[in-house]
Homo-oligomer: A and B are copies of this chain.
Amino acid sequence: MKVENKHTKIIAAATKVFAKKGFFTARISDIAKEAKVADGTIYLYFNNKYDILLSVFEEEVGKIVESTEKLLRLEDDPRRQLEIFCSQHLHSMKKNRYLAEVLQIELRQPYKLIKEYRDTTFSKYTGIIAEIIRNGQRLGLFRTELHPDLAKRCIFGALDELSRVWNASLETNYTVEEITNQVLAIFLIGIEVTRSSEEG
């Protein structure tokens, strides 16, 4: 239990510190201070600095993926699923702002282990969007001329950029609901089979 606590405390501290200073500028001692442990203690729980970053990804994103998948399984309509995904993602990013920053910044770093994570675990998360779209296409709800992999990028990219409105340096009054509505207003109409295209 105590171990769990310390591991968790370090992950939380690292998330905060990485968000504020960026992975490379963050010092292990910053994380240790934030977590209220000694520098050396961190190495009892993590192999090295990279390992902390990867653990932040694995564990924190893991929770989001899990809860998102759970919710999606309760719903059949791809339109509703897309709505749930967007809403969930934006909620998570707003709720855990530090994690949001870390993901936006560090997940793009061109380092082997990060790329590996991105190309495996994380791509499963964005892959959910492509799956939803494919389903919608099968059901005749979404236009078939759209490539699911490109549409996935459109939607994830939009969500990712939108979630930056809550970053520290910006002042914004948008609520998660407003933004979710906006993005769905665009994308659902953007990808749905419209009357005119049906007719055309």
Contacts and interface: CB of A to CB of B under 8 A. Distances in A.
Interface residues of A, number: 50
A119 interface: yes
How many copies of the shown chain assemble into the complex?
A: 4
Interface in A168-187: 169, 174, 178-179, 182-183, 185-187
Given A20-B110, A150-B162, 8 more contacts: A24-B24, A25-B111, A105-B110, A146-B186, A150-B182, A154-B161, A160-B161, A190-B190
23 contacts: A19-B110, A22-B111, A23-B24, A24-B24, A24-B25, A105-B109, A108-B108, A115-B169, A143-B185, A147-B174, A147-B178, A150-B174, A153-B162, A154-B183, A154-B186, A154-B187, A157-B159, A186-B187, A187-B190, A188-B190, A189-B189, A190-B190, A190-B191
